[in-house]
Every structure is written in structure tokens, then in C-alpha cells.
């Protein structure tokens, strides 16, 4: 049997087990057809009252009895060994309970590296305070526990350390010499179709340029924190986490425990954006707690976050497009280099957008990783796409300019009918509609085709556009539990996360619609590793993962309910696919009058509650469809002709992300992504001193993120066309917003000034 | 040596190093006031002292002896949310919720400043007595409160709506 | 942060008495000092809280204004006389920091702000002559986009971060100081010093001396003045370049001009060469540019801050042209 046959056999079985719409020949999620429910209505956040009143407790806000406070000290060299470490003064300082170093830390295994297995959560797989070795500038070398935070911080400042340094690679240009092929999600980041270089050489019109993007930091406003304690061999962790199941399993590996012995909860997360994974602080806090025999609260300083929580790495991307006079692409080349830590595997996959954005006669896409002695770089909002679309969509604009063609028109002319590199059909793609409607709404027609020709006083005005794109993901491992009680209320439990995306609210709406209950009768519990499912809040996949999990659990529940209700129920003889929930009743789907209320069924069954738990089917939809979200991004800027300052005055994102479940929270996700994109475009850069590999702006005063005054009113709108192959017809919307923004801004700046900046961020000095 | 927090008299800590922020969070378990940078660069720790907004992370608790501090917990009374808190919910003026208490306290303090005619960096005529709370005025005055989730538009809408109701 | 004692001064004599203690520091709003203490860059063993001293803002008969050093930044910007007679000062204050910080920060403290040089802040990982005299300076070959273009030395290229001080420099303010040897008054220009070989010395204050007031002399043409700040985001960021200026024009000729630059040097930079060059000359863009060129003639760029030279010139010309345009 060939691999393809084997895959098809697996598919067939999967279809039989779960004939959902995301399988070929399956029926779409019935909720897609349902138009009268909660889905699509703007619902305010259910956790809003807690958040606005300060009663929502975050990771560092759970008290534990007899708790002590931690402070970390970090290395100041990039590579080498600790020569001397004198902690005597720290140990003698008032209030100090423990000074932990490699000498007295308990033996631990390295954290399993994220994506090395399905529940691995570690940012790197280095030893954690186990020896004298230093692997990056900023590595934790000591942890102090004291009765009060002030005491721990002061004692930490008394620790004296010297190093024997070893040769290190902290200069990107030096690292390039030993670059390796990037491998992402098990696949080499390399794709060649045809002879792209030859096609480029032969093309009558071309652009061939290099773009650069710097390192970025997530800068969630909540500092990374955890409150941990041991009860015998059981570890309790209040964490700020986008992967509670991942965290619990990974901590269990580190400490040699059973997974169930580690309990991680994370009811609120103060922003994640890819950063709230398992880094050394949770592990070190747990280790110190074990040694000291007392619960520990650790909250990194802002500097600490920069020292030990990785960010997005830098990229250097060549984009070359060869085109005919009518704009059709003969060659699309996007290749380049990223910096990567030696002990992680995240070669920022900037070529992902180019794999499906445009049709072209030939392709050459490749990412190489240059390994450096630096903190592990990691996932940050739209990893790959955020910076990849900057280069690709800037280059398309440059080509349009050289062709004398409207940049929207050029994009439409290269719109593919099917995925241009995999050849499979798109599950849902309406980017041309988004562009046309967006252009109308934004007033694109008023754009001056000739750059630098619209001036008002000191200010030069311009408009730019770019395509946003992000894949639809659904990771394996999703599972959920639903409990129906005799009063007709339902509770969902799933190890998912609420970091501000609106998950808790939206999934309550969806579950209420699915069951035919009011929102007040449904509770969704999440953020607890003891709940079912391995559901990462990442890759914009959580909505789909929860959706598929709840569909599976719901089918189990209804099947069980119908079975137990027996032949006296008006629904006798029907199976789960023949019924639907409405107004507290279970009804025959095509004969709504034949129905029985949940309360009545539960009474008939004579049970207080019925619980069903199920696992979502494996995500095989990707083998049949190319699944992506899209957006048409429009930006208007003013650039000061005197100072080079850029102000974004208008922005429109027209999104095509399937069905929008809760317009209120989705709009916030879109806007939030766009605003982070404005930061990426104009001001954000983690300054890495190449002389010693040290981050030199580890502060919110010196690392600039957009403030209120930088942000105009942002118009967001969507096609709302369901993707029949996704649960609820919906795509996740967390990352799409940041994609395309960098290019839309850069293109608008070019239109305003005639100056093309290919090196982010576009600070005023680059406009001088 | 005491300080008034939301109407209650609180003994000041003996350790002079304790910031007003850590007094609230670590000593009083009033965790509504957030720590986002501990260096005066994010605004998450904003509280009101005698009605004026300040950053509690840069405030040594001892320096505020005898003063009246209002935190986010003090804005809602008997479980009833303050109208500006309700406006933040209605206009989705937050996502993760971490910067939110600071945003709300800052907004309350800011509106007091506008009311008494304090100009801002974008005020056209400094000699003019009263301030019109334009979008630019509001944005400039709230720029000391970072929101990494990017709920800025909703924050503007929430504050604008609340400001209308107290005119 | 190390342990320290804390006491409030009841008056300036009490402050000076307490401030004479070994390793004592005066505490204003704390917006810079508390941060520096937390970073262990400042390690006082005693803090003398001087926020209870005079914060009065007084218009005097000679036309000057006296501002008590304990006045909050907000109070100064809000003061009617400051707003109408010295708008550049109100605007400079309002361009700085955030509303919350301005509510805390005092005038005296603002004058004594320390640099934002990241190598100065990096206590553990970088060399800094300002922190540890003789250690070396990692900024000169490092990230120095925000650093000085004027008056720097081989020992230090840091800049003074204050906005308010730029306006005070332009206004030719006076600084009232008290100490164990009694009171004295110095020109604002004499308060801060260039780094030279001793960048750890930032002011001419003697040990234990306390700034008690800032005096702004009468300067009628300052009613028409501007503060323009150029920075990396629209608000809540330190200046890359700032310009405080006032100009008096009579029949198209510059009768008097005051101009100071921020973000360019270890101290707020009064543009004396520019002022001299422009006085008596026709108020034209060409002359503004020529004077700016003269002022910046000695500017020395580092690796990343060369843009500041042109930016400073352009901003100067734009500010003066704006003022001249309003007056014509």
C-alpha cells in the first residue's frame, strides 16, 4: 500500500467515525446553517465584570500559605562557564530563605522542546541551573527566595559572579556562514517549482530586493509569573499559560513525575502572543519551592522577561518577482536567513504566505537558519506571516510601481484558482471580494498614483494596501467534556485558554446555540490542565480545536441522552444527527414540533447529570483543502517632510475569516493585531548588542510599542462567508490582523514620499 | 503611620522600600492594581491619590502617609460597577484585562484634569480656560497607559461615552 | 533596592540638615530616583523627602516667576501665568512623560533626571564611566541612536532626558540653591555640565545642596514661543531632538531670539551661537538654516545618531519659521 493509499484508508475510517464537514463527503457543521442563534451577535465579554473591577486573579495573584518571593539573577556573558559565584552576602541578607544556584538546585531534566512532541512546552531544551555552563547572555544563574519581594531583590544584588568566557557567535553576519536549512513542523522550509531563477532572468519586468526585519518582543503587559507549591510529590502551579496541558506534562517530565501529579491552572492570562509558554521561571520556582519546602511566587521583572523569554527573531529576506507586462508572475522567489538559538527550533517561517498567496509560473522559497549564541527565539503573533508578508507585499507593491499598475489590480491578476504550490483547492477564499469592497469603503480611488504628490503643510499623505494571510490550523489532541444537569444547564470543560481573545464568551455562545440553550444556562470552564484536551492557544487554532472537540462531546452527549430517554420519549428512535437543540428542547431537526425539553428528558432518565467526553477527530482536512484566512489591508499615512515622523491616520482591515462568531470580540482581535502590526511597521525592535549578545532595551520605556496616540480609529469589517470545512464555519482570528500591516504601512509611506524603506522599523531617521 | 486605601486606614509597612503598588498587592492582597513594568513605563499600576492619578510602582508607600488612595477595587461600590467600568465592558475596551484597572483609574483621573482645564500636549490654545475632549485630547492624555492587546479604540469609545454622561 | 531611612523635611533648613548625612538623597516625586534605586544605580542610605517644601508659583513685581522646587510638573504646566507668558515651558512639560508621571514629578527632581543611556542602566552587563568612573563606555561602539551629538567626550556620550529643562535653558532661568553654606543662585546654564573626563559629575551642585526654586526672568517675547519634540512615537517617549524657542521680530529683523535643544547633549543645549548669528539679521528661512548650521558645526555623529544633526537643523528652521510666520 502506498503512503497515499494508506492516508486515504485512514481518511475513510475517520469519515465513518465522524462525518463532519471538514472531511470530504461529510456534512458541514449544522451550526453554519443556523441563522437565528447567538452566533453572529455582538456579545460583551462574560469575564468583563471581573476584569474591570480588578477581581480577576492572574498567576501572581493567588496567595499560598507561608509563601516566599523569588528573584532571579542573570548571566552577563553569552557563552562560557561560571568561574566564581559568591552568594554568602545574599544568604546572610535579611529575610533570605534560599539562594539556589547550580550547586544546590535539585536534579532536573531539560524541558521538552516545544513541538518536539504533542505536549512539549519548553522554549529550549537546555539544562536548567544544573551546571556552570552559560548558553546565552541573560541566562538565570541564581534564584533567591525571601520573605518579601524587596528582600529577595536586594539579596540578589549582592551575589557576585565571574565567568570564564568562551568564543561565541553573536554577530549575525558571522553566523550566516554556518546556516542550516530551516525545518518547521517537520517539513523543510524549501519549495521549488520550475526554475524560478531562470524565469526571473527572462522576465521582462522584475523586482529583486532584500528586506530586513528585526527581533521583536511580545511585551504582554502581564509580567511572566507563577505561584507554585508542592503537596508531597504533587506540584500545584498557578501559571500564565497558553498551554496548560502542555505545561503540566512538560513540568512532569522535568521533575520525573506522572502527568497527573502536576496541576496547572491559568484562568486569566494577561496577554500572551506566543510568549506564555514554559520558560525557566516556572521550573526554577518549582525547584526552589521543593528545596525550601515553601510555596513560591515568582514574577519576572520586565528586564527578566527580555532576558529569559524568547521573542521573534530577525529575518533577512530576498524577494524577487519576475512578471509579464500584464502583471502575471513568471517567478516568485522568497529566500533568506533568520537567526536562531542553538537549542531551539524555530526558523521564523517567513515563506508561508508566498506558498499560497499568488499563482506564478515558478517558485523558489527557502528559509535558512543561522545559529547564534542567544536566548531561544520563539513564536510571536503570526510567526512567519507577520514578517513574511512585510517583504512579499512590499515587493508586490514595488513591482506594481515599476509596471505602472494599480497594486490591487496586480494582486487580482495573480489570484490563484487553487493553491498554487500544493495544487489542492482552497476551502474558502474571497480575497478579491475583500479587496474590491475594501477599496470602495476606504476611498482607494482618491489615492494619487504618483508618489510624493499629496502634501498638506509639512505633511505628505499616502495610501497603501497589502494582503493579510494566515493559515487555518487545527492541531490534534482536542477533547472536551460536557455535563448536562437535571435543571437543563450544561457545563463544558476543556483545557483551553482565555488570554483576551474572547474564547470564554464565544465558546459559551457556540455551545448554547449547539445545545439550544440560553447563554445563561451554559458555562464553559477552561484554563485547567485537569480538564480534557490538549488545546494550545496558538496558531489561531483554539477556536477550531474547541469547536471540533465540543462537536464530538456534544454528539456523545446527545447520543447518550437519546439512548437513556428510551422509547417513551417523543424523540424515540432518532439518532444524534437527526435532532437539534432549540429553546431548551431537543427537537427533530426537520420536524421541530417533535421535541422534548432537556429538563423533561433528565427527569425521565432519573439522573442528576449526564456527562460525555470525546476527542476531536484528527485534523485531516488539511490534506484535502488549502485552508487560510485572508484580509485586504488599507492604510493612510502622513509623513512629516521636516522630521520624517510617520503618523497612521486611517486603517481598514477587510477580513475573510469564515463566519465571525462574536463580532464584538473578533473586531477587537482584528484591531489588536493591526495595532501590533503598526508597532512592527514603525517602532518595534529588540536591540541585541552583537558584541556580547545582550538585549539593550529590556524596558517598556525603550522598546516602543504603540501608545493610544499612535493609533487611529481602525475600521474592521469581514465577508462573514462560512468555511464549510471548519467547525462553525469559523476561522481563528487572533493572528491574521498583524499580517500585511507592515507592508501596508511601508507601501503607504512610499506613496506619500517616494521613499521605499525595506528595513523595519520605519523610524524617522530612515525617512531623512 | 497609616494610609487610607479605599476608605480604610491601613498601617504602613516598616520596610521603607515597599512601593505603594507592592503594599497593595503583596501586603493587602488587593491585586486589582497591576504590575506591568515596575519602572513607570506602562501605566498598569495607576491609582488615584486624593483624586489624582499617579503610578503606584514609582511611589514609595511611606511617602504617601496620610493620603487617600483609591484603587480599582474602590471604584465599584457594594458590588455595583462604576459607570465607566460598565462602559469598558460595553465597548470592549480591553481584551486580556491586565492593563484595564490602570486604564480605568487613569481615565477617571484624566477626566478630572480635563474638567479643571489642565491643557495637554495637543491643546491648541494654552491660554484658553476650558478643554474640549476631542479624540486627540483623549488619546494624548491616555498615552501613559499601554495596552498590548490593542484595545485602544474601545477604550476611547468607553471613556468618550462615560465623559458624555458626566458633562 | 538597599535599605534606607525615610524622613520628611519640614523646611529647607531641616532638609539641608538631614541631607548632610552620609549617603543621603533628596526625594521629590520619585519618578526617576525610585526607578534608579530599584535598578541599584542609586543606593542612598537615607531619603529626605522634600516634597513638603515650597511648591508655590509666584509672579513677582519684576516680571519674573518663582517656582518652588516641590511644585509638581502638572502644576507648572497648569499655571495660568506660565501658560500665557511662557508657553514653551508649559508645552515642554506637557510633552514629557505621561499624565500620571507629571502628577508626581517635581520641578527640582526634573532638573536632576539622569540619562536614559541603556548602558548606564545596565548595571550588571555593561561598562559605563558615569556609573563606574574609569570603567569605559559601551555606548560609543554600541546602540547610540539616542546619544549626544554635541559636547560629548571620549568618556561619555549620554544625553540629558528632560523636556522641561530645554525650555528653562532657552528662558535663561535661574536656579536657587541652598546648602550648609547658605543660599546661592546660579544661571540655569551653569547647573548641568558636559561630561568631559568625569561623566559621573552631572551638575555643579555641591554635596548636600538642595534646589529650592527655579526663577524665570521676565522675557516678554516668550509669550510667543514654541516647544517642538521629535520622537519615535506620538506620545510617551523621550525626545530624539527637541527645540524650545522664542523669537522677537521687528520689521522683519530678528531683535532677540532664544533657542535651546534637547536630546543632543549631556545637558540641555542653549544655542548661543545660533542666537548670536541670528540677532540683527532678517528673519528668513535661509538665515535660520545658516544659523542652525553654525550651531551644529561642531556636531559629531556616532554610529547611529548622525541623523540627529540634520534633524536638529530642520526642526530648528521649522520652529523658527513657524514663530516668524505667526509674527509676520
Which of B47, B75, B103 is the endpoint of a domain?
B75
Q: Are residues B98 and B160 in the same domain?
A: yes
Q: Give how far A365 is from chain C: nearest CA, Å.
A: 33
CA distance C19 to A482: 67
Take residue A351 and report the three cell numbers written for it: 515563506
- pLDDT confidence of residue A4: 44
Specify the domain boundaries for CATH 3.30.43.10 within chain C: 5-51
CA distance A62 to B113: 35
Query: pLDDT band at residue C114, thresholds of 50, 70 and 90?
Result: very high
Asked if C314 and A643 come within 8 Å (Cβ–Cβ), the reply is: yes
How many domains are contained in chain B? 2
Take residue C123 and report the three cell numbers written for it: 548595571
Q: Measured between CB atoms, does A502 come within 8 Å of chain B?
A: yes
CA distance C310 to C55: 39
- pLDDT confidence of residue A36: 82
Q: Quick check: B51 pLDDT over 80?
A: yes
> Between chain A and chain C, how many beta carbons pairs sit less than 8 Å apart?
84
Mean pLDDT value of segment A636-661 = 98
Take residue C326 and report the three cell numbers written for it: 505667526
User: A348, A393, A493, A735: which one is catalytic?
Assistant: A735
Q: Are residues B56 and B110 in the same domain?
A: no
CATH number at residue B24: 3.10.20.30
Q: Give how far A702 is from chain C: nearest CA, Å.
A: 8
Burial of A29 (0-12, 13-18, 19+ CB in 10 A): buried
Q: Are residues B66 and B122 in the same domain?
A: no
Q: Are residues B142 and B87 in the same domain?
A: yes
CA distance A477 to C17: 70
CATH number at residue B147: 1.10.150.120
Q: Quick check: A358 pLDDT over 60?
A: yes
Q: Which domains are delineated in chain A?
A: 1-33 (no CATH), 64-167+222-270+276-308 (3.90.1170.50), 315-473+623-767 (3.30.365.10), 474-618 (3.30.365.10)
Residues of A in Cβ contact (< 8 Å) with C121: 699
Which of B22, B33, B149 has its CB closest to that of A271? B149
Take residue A451 and report the three cell numbers written for it: 508618489
Q: Are residues B23 and B52 in the same domain?
A: yes
User: Could you report the per-residue pLDDT of C128-146, keeping only the tens digit for each?
Assistant: 999 999 999 999 999 999 9
Query: pLDDT band at residue A2, thresholds of 50, 70 and 90?
Result: very low
Q: Are residues B58 and B126 in the same domain?
A: no
Active site annotation includes A735: yes
Q: Are residues B94 and B158 in the same domain?
A: yes
Mean pLDDT value of segment A17-32 = 75
Q: Are residues B124 and B88 in the same domain?
A: yes
Of residues A665, A655, A646, A756, the one with CA closest to residue A712: A646
Which of B55, B75, B95 is the endpoint of a domain?
B75
* Domain C5-51 CATH class label: alpha beta
Q: Quick check: A739 pLDDT over 90?
A: yes
User: Could you report the per-residue pLDDT of A537-550, keeping only the tens digit for each?
Assistant: 999 999 999 999 99
Asked if C3 and B15 come within 8 Å (Cβ–Cβ), the reply is: yes
CA distance A756 to A679: 18
Mean pLDDT value of segment A162-188 = 96
Query: pLDDT band at residue B1, thresholds of 50, 70 and 90?
Result: confident
Q: Are residues B87 and B69 in the same domain?
A: no
Helix (H) or strand (E) holding A329: strand A329-341
Q: Quick check: A610 pLDDT over 70?
A: yes
Residues of B in Cβ contact (< 8 Å) with C27: 60, 63
Take residue C99 and report the three cell numbers written for it: 499624565
Asked if C103 and B53 come within 8 Å (Cβ–Cβ), the reply is: yes
CA distance A164 to A103: 17
Mean pLDDT value of segment A405-418 = 98
Name the residue of chain A whose CA is nearest to B150's CA. A672
Q: Measured between CB atoms, does B149 come within 8 Å of chain A?
A: yes
* Segments forming the whole domain that contains residue B66: 2-75
Q: How far is CA A406 from CA A193, A398, A752, in A?
A: 27, 11, 15
Q: Quick check: A113 pLDDT over 60?
A: yes
Give the mutation candidate from B60, B104, B109, B113 for the C interface (greatest C CB count, under 10 A).
B60
Q: Quick check: A85 pLDDT over 90?
A: yes
Place of cell 517567478: A331
- pLDDT confidence of residue A12: 52
CA distance A518 to A520: 5
Averaged pLDDT score across all residues of chain A: 96
- The number of helix segments (H) and strand segments (E) in chain C equals 13, 12
Asked if B119 and C100 come within 8 Å (Cβ–Cβ), the reply is: no
Asked if C94 and B123 come within 8 Å (Cβ–Cβ), the reply is: yes
Helix (H) or strand (E) holding A748: helix A741-753
Mean pLDDT value of segment C55-71 = 98
* Domain C226-327 CATH class label: alpha beta
Mean pLDDT value of segment A68-85 = 98
Q: Are residues B55 and B125 in the same domain?
A: no
Q: How far is CA B36 from CA A59, A150, B55, in A?
A: 13, 17, 11
Q: Angle CA(C14)–CA(C18)–CA(C23) in degrees, nearest 5?
A: 155
Specify the domain boundaries for CATH 3.30.390.50 within chain C: 226-327
Pairing of strands A315-323, A329-341: antiparallel
Asked if A765 and C315 come within 8 Å (Cβ–Cβ), the reply is: no
Place of cell 546565552: A136
For residues A463 and A504, the answer to whether their CB atoms sit within 8 Å is no
Phi–psi pair at C87, nearest 5 degrees: -55, -30
Which of B36, B52, B75 is the endpoint of a domain?
B75
Asked if C234 and A710 come within 8 Å (Cβ–Cβ), the reply is: yes
Query: pLDDT band at residue C59, thresholds of 50, 70 and 90?
Result: very high
Residues of A in Cβ contact (< 8 Å) with B155: 708
- Compute and round to an integer the Cα radius of gyration of chain C: 19
Q: Quick check: A8 pLDDT over 60?
A: no
Q: Are residues B48 and B93 in the same domain?
A: no
Mean pLDDT value of segment A680-684 = 98
Q: Are residues B71 and B92 in the same domain?
A: no
Residues of C in Cβ contact (< 8 Å) with A687: 118, 143
Amino acid at each position: 500500500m502506498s503512503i497515499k493509499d494508506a492516508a486515504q484508508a485512514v481518511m475513510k475510517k475517520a469519515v465513518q467515525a465522524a462525518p463532519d464537514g471538514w472531511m470530504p463527503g461529510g456534512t458541514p457543521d449544522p451550526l453554519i446553517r443556523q441563522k437565528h442563534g447567538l452566533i453572529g451577535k455582538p456579545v460583551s465579554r462574560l469575564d468583563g465584570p471581573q476584569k474591570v473591577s480588578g477581581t480577576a486573579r492572574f498567576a501572581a495573584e493567588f496567595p499560598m500559605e507561608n509563601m516566599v518571593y523569588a528573584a532571579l539573577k542573570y548571566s552577563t556573558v553569552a557563552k562560557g562557564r561560571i568561574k566564581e559565584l559568591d552568594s554568602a552576602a545574599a544568604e546572610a541578607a535579611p529575610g533570605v530563605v534560599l539562594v539556589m544556584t547550580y550547586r544546590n538546585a535539585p536534579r532536573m531534566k531539560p524541558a521538552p522542546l516545544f513541538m518536539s512532541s504533542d505536549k512539549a512546552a519548553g522554549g529550549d531544551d537546555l539544562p536548567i541551573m544544573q551546571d556552570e555552563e552559560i548558553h546565552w547572555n541573560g541566562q538565570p544563574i541564581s534564584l533567591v527566595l525571601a520573605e518579601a519581594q524587596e528582600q529577595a531583590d536586594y539579596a540578589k544584588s549582592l551575589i557576585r559572579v565571574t565567568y570564564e568566557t568562551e568564543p561565541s557567535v553573536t554577530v549575525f553576519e558571522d553566523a550566516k556562514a554556518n546556516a542550516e536549512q530551516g525545518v518547521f513542523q517537520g517539513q523543510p522550509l524549501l519549495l521549488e517549482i520550475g526554475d524560478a531563477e531562470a524565469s526571473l532572468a527572462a522576465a521582462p519586468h522584475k523586482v529583486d530586493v532584500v528586506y530586513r526585519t528585526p527581533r521583536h518582543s511580545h511585551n504582554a503587559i502581564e509580567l511572566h509569573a507563577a505561584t507554585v507549591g508542592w503537596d508531597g510529590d504533587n506540584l500545584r502551579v498557578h501559571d500564565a499559560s497558553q498551554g496548560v496541558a502542555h505545561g503540566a506534562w512538560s513540568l512532569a517530565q522535568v521533575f520525573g513525575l506522572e502527568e497527573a501529579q502536576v496541576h496547572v491552572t491559568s484562568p486569566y492570562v494577561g496577554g500572551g502572543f506566543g510568549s506564555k509558554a514554559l520558560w525557566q521561571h516556572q521550573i526554577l520556582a518549582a525547584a526552589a519551592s521543593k528545596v525550601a519546602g515553601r510555596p513560591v511566587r515568582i514574577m519576572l521583572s520586565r528586564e527578566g522577561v527580555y532576558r529569559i523569554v524568547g521573542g521573534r527573531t530577525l529575518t533577512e529576506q530576498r524577494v524577487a518577482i519576475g512578471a509579464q507586462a500584464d502583471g502575471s508572475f513568471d517567478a516568485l522567489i522568497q529566500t533568506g536567513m533568520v537567526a536562531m538559538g542553538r537549542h531551539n527550533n524555530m526558523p521564523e517561517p517567513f515563506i508561508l504566505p508566498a506558498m499560497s498567496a499568488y499563482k506564478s509560473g515558478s517558485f523558489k522559497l527557502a528559509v535558512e537558519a543561522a545559529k547564534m549564541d542567544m536566548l531561544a527565539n520563539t513564536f510571536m503573533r503570526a510567526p512567519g506571516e507577520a514578517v513574511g508578508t512585510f517583504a512579499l507585499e512590499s515587493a508586490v507593491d514595488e513591482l506594481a510601481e515599476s509596471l505602472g499598475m494599480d497594486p490591487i489590480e496586480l494582486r487580482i491578476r495573480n489570484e490563484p484558482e487553487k493553491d498554487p504550490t500544493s495544487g489542492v483547492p482552497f476551502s474558502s477564499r474571497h480575497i478579491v471580494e475583500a479587496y474590491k469592497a475594501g477599496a470602495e469603503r476606504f476611498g482607494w480611488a482618491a489615492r494619487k498614483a504618483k508618489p510624493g504628490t499629496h502634501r498638506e503643510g509639512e505633511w505628505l499623505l499616502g495610501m497603501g494596501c497589502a494582503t493579510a494571510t494566515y493559515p487555518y490550523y487545527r492541531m490534534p489532541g482536542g477533547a472536551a467534556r460536557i455535563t448536562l444537569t437535571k435543571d437543563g444547564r450544561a457545563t463544558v470543560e476543556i483545557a483551553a485558554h482565555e488570554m483576551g481573545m474572547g474564547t470564554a464568551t464565544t465558546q459559551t455562545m457556540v455551545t448554547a446555540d449547539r445545545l439550544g440553550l440560553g447563554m445563561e444556562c451554559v458555562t464553559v470552564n477552561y484554563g485547567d490542565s485537569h480538564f480534557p484536551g490538549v488545546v494550545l492557544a496558538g496558531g489561531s487554532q483554539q477556536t477550531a480545536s474547541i469547536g471540533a472537540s465540543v462537536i464530538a462531546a456534544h454528539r456523545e452527549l446527545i447520543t447518550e441522552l437519546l439512548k437513556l430517554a428510551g422509547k417513551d420519549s417523543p424523540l424515540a428512535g432518532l439518532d444524534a444527527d437527526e435532532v437539534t437543540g432549540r429553546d431548551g428542547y431537543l427537537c427533530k431537526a426537520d420536524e421541530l414540533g417533535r421535541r422534548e425539553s432537556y429538563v423533561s428528558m433528565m427527569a425521565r432518565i432519573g439522573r442528576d447529570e449526564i456527562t460525555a467526553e470525546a476527542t476531536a477527530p484528527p485534523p485531516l482536512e488539511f490534506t484535502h483543502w488549502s485552508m487560510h484566512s485572508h484580509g485586504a489591508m488599507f492604510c493612510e499615512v502622513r509623513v512629516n517632510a521636516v522630521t520624517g515622523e510617520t503618523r497612521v491616520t486611517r486603517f481598514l482591515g477587510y477580513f475573510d475569516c469564515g463566519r465571525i462568531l462574536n463580532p464584538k470580540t473578533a473586531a477587537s482581535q482584528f484591531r489588536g493585531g493591526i495595532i501590533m502590526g503598526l508597532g512592527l511597521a514603525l517602532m518595534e525592535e529588540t536591540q541585541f548588542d552583537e558584541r556580547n549578545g545582550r538585549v539593550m532595551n529590556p524596558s517598556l520605556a525603550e522598546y516602543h510599542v504603540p501608545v493610544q496616540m499612535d493609533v487611529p480609529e481602525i475600521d474592521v469589517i469581514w465577508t462573514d462567508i462560512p468555511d464549510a470545512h471548519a467547525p462553525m464555519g469559523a476561522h481563528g482570528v487572533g493572528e491574521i490582523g498583524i499580517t500585511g500591516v507592515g507592508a501596508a504601512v511601508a507601501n503607504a509611506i512610499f506613496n506619500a514620499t517616494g521613499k521605499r524603506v525595506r528595513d523595519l522599523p520605519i523610524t524617522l531617521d530612515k525617512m531623512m | 503611620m497609616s494610609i487610607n486605601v479605599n476608605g480604610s486606614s491601613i498601617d504602613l509597612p516598616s520596610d521603607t522600600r515597599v512601593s505603594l503598588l507592592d503594599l497593595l498587592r503583596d501586603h493587602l492582597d488587593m491585586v486589582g492594581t497591576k504590575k506591568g513594568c515596575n519602572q513607570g513605563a506602562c501605566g498598569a499600576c495607576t491609582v488615584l491619590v486624593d483624586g489624582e492619578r499617579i503610578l503606584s510602582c514609582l511611589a514609595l508607600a511611606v511617602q504617601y502617609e496620610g493620603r487617600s488612595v483609591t484603587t480599582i477595587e474602590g471604584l465599584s461600590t457594594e458590588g455595583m460597577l462604576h459607570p465607566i467600568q460598565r462602559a469598558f465592558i460595553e465597548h470592549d475596551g480591553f481584551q486580556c484585562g491586565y492593563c484595564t484597572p490602570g486604564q480605568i483609574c487613569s481615565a477617571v483621573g484624566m477626566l478630572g484634569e480635563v474638567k479643571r482645564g489642565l491643557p495637554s500636549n495637543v491643546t491648541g490654545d494654552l491660554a484658553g480656560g476650558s478643554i474640549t475632549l476631542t479624540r486627540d485630547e483623549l488619546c494624548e492624555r491616555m498615552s501613559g497607559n499601554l495596552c498590548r492587546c490593542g484595545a485602544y479604540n474601545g477604550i476611547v469609545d468607553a471613556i468618550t461615552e462615560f465623559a458624555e454622561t458626566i458633562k | 533596592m538597599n535599605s534606607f531611612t525615610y524622613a520628611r523635611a519640614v523646611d529647607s533648613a531641616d532638609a539641608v540638615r538631614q541631607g548632610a548625612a552620609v549617603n543621603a538623597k533628596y526625594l521629590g516625586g520619585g519618578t526617576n530616583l525610585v526607578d534608579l534605586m530599584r535598578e541599584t544605580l542609586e543606593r542612598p542610605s537615607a531619603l529626605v523627602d522634600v516634597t513638603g517644601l515650597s511648591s508655590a508659583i509666584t509672579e513677582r513685581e519684576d516680571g519674573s516667576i518663582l517656582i518652588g522646587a516641590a511644585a509638581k510638573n502638572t502644576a507648572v504646566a497648569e499655571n495660568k501665568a506660565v501658560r500665557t507668558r511662557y508657553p514653551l515651558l508649559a508645552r515642554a512639560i506637557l510633552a514629557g512623560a505621561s499624565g500620571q508621571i507629571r502628577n508626581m514629578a517635581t520641578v527640582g527632581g526634573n532638573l536632576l533626571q539622569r540619562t536614559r543611556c541603556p548602558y548606564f542602566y545596565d548595571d550588571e552587563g555593561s561598562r559605563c564611566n558615569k556609573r563606574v568612573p574609569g570603567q569605559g563606555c559601551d555606548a560609543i561602539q554600541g546602540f547610540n541612536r539616542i546619544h549626544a551629538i554635541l559636547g560629548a567626550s571620549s568618556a561619555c556620550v549620554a544625553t540629558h532626558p528632560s523636556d522641561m529643562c530645554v525650555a528653562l535653558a532657552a528662558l535663561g532661568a535661574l536656579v536657587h540653591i541652598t546648602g550648609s553654606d547658605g543660599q546661592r543662585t546660579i544661571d540655569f546654564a551653569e547647573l548641568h555640565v558636559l561630561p568631559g573626563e568625569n561623566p559621573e559629575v552631572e551638575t555643579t551642585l555641591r554635596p548636600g545642596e538642595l534646589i529650592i526654586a527655579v526663577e524665570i526672568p521676565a522675557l516678554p517675547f516668550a509669550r510667543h514661543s514654541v516647544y517642538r519634540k521629535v520622537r519615535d512615537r506620538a506620545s510617551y517617549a523621550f525626545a530624539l531632538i527637541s527645540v524650545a524657542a522664542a523669537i522677537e521680530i521687528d520689521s522683519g529683523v530678528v531683535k532677540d531670539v532664544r533657542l535651546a535643544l534637547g536630546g543632543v547633549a549631556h545637558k540641555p543645549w542653549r544655542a548661543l551661537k545660533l542666537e548670536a548669528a541670528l540677532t540683527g539679521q532678517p528673519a528668513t528661512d535661509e538665515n535660520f538654516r545658516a544659523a542652525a548650521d553654525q550651531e551644529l558645526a561642531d556636531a559629531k555623529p556616532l554610529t547611529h545618531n548622525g541623523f540627529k544633526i540634520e534633524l536638529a537643523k530642520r526642526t530648528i528652521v521649522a520652529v523658527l519659521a513657524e514663530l516668524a510666520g505667526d509674527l509676520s
